[in-house]
């Protein structure tokens, strides 16, 4: 029987991220300034046609699949990112207090975008902060590390945008931010999970050391519809 995390974007768009969703009962997507993820209830050519018609732009989007797949020829596959989905199976964390970790606000978004462009933890846009609970560490007025939440799938919450400026690696900032996120999620009765590129051995080791276990391989497809309308659909 399929697990709800086999189709995390869809199940987030109909549950914890419902307030950010667009689409209909078969296909859904986020505003492009929030997230590039698109999703569908079930994978089918008809649903890809519906998505093609409903999506209001021709900018590349992200589609998550639990398996390798082929796409209808009216979608162009720009890139395949092989990933690993991990779920937290560690201890219930005790109350943690890191004085250097502070909530991030709208006025911090330019620095958040700059940091994610530099470190590439995944897509981050002008409104990604609306997923909630982004926290960071500053060196004076400069944001040097951060982590937040993204896809909220019922009682599972995704840790996202974990990144540290290259000048500040080795200081334990990522672990501090991860523990802070795990504790917050646990206090709300949720199970932390995350996605990581399968070739990111360093990050995978950090996550495993903290108590995350690999659940499965997962695939992120960067796809794009042609600028011309779909014909014959």
Reported as a single tens digit per residue, the pLDDT across 88-146 is 999 998 877 788 999 999 999 999 999 999 999 999 999 999 999 999 999 999 999 99
**Residue 59 maps to a domain:** yes
* Number of helices (H), then strands (E), in the chain: 5, 11
**Residue 230 maps to a domain:** no
Do 74 and 38 fall into the same domain? yes
**Residue 190 maps to a domain:** yes
Do 78 and 42 fall into the same domain? yes
Read off the CATH number of the domain in which 25 is found.
3.40.630.30
Please tell me the pTM assigned to this model. Answer: 0.94
Q: Does 221 have pLDDT greater than 70?
A: yes
Q: What is the DSSP letter of 197?
A: E
* 84, 123, 38, 33: CA torsion to nearest 10: 160
Do 192 and 100 fall into the same domain? yes
**Residue 158 maps to a domain:** yes
How many domains, in total, are found in the chain? 2
Do 103 and 182 fall into the same domain? yes
Do 126 and 179 fall into the same domain? yes
Cα dihedral 127, 130, 131, 132 sign: positive
Do 62 and 99 fall into the same domain? no
Q: Does 28 have pLDDT greater than 50?
A: yes
**Residue 54 maps to a domain:** yes
Nearest to 10 by CA among 97, 26, 101: 26
**Residue 233 maps to a domain:** no
Which spans in 129-221 are helix H? 173-187, 201-210
Averaged confidence pLDDT in the chain = 95
Percent of the chain with pLDDT over 90: 93
How large is the average pLDDT for residues 210-231? 87
**Residue 23 maps to a domain:** yes
Side-by-side strand order, sheet with 135-139: 21-23, 27-30, 37-40, 61-65, 212-224, 76-88, 191-197, 156-164, 142-153, 135-139, 101-103
Q: For residue 226, what pLDDT is reported?
A: 82
Do 77 and 149 fall into the same domain? no
What is the extent of the structural domain holding 57? Answer: 4-83+219-224
């Amino acid at each position: 029987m399929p697990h709800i995390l086999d189709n995390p974007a869809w199940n987030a768009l109909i549950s914890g991220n419902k307030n950010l969703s667009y689409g209909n009962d078969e296909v859904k997507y986020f505003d492009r300034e929030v997230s590039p993820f698109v999703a569908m209830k079930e994978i089918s050519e008809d649903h890809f046609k519906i998505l093609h018609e409903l999506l209001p732009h021709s900018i590349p989007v992200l589609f998550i699949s639990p398996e390798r797949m082929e796409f209808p020829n009216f979608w162009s596959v720009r890139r395949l990112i092989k990933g690993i989905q991990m779920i937290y199976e560690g201890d219930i964390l005790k109350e943690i207090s890191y004085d250097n970790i502070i909530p991030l606000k709208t006025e911090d978004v330019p620095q958040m975008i700059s940091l994610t462009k530099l470190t590439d933890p995944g897509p981050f846009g002008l409104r990604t902060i609306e997923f909630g609970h982004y926290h960071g560490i500053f060196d004076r007025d400069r944001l040097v590390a951060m982590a937040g939440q993204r896809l909220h799938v019922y009682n599972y919450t995704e840790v996202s945008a974990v990144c540290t400026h290259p000048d500040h690696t080795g200081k334990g900032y990522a672990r501090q931010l991860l523990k802070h996120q795990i504790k917050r999620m646990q206090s709300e009765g949720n199970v932390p999970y995350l996605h990581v590129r399968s070739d990111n051995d360093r990050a995978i080791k950090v996550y495993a050391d903290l108590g995350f276990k690999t659940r499965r391989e997962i695939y992120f497809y960067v796809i794009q519809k042609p600028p011309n309308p779909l014909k014959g659909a």
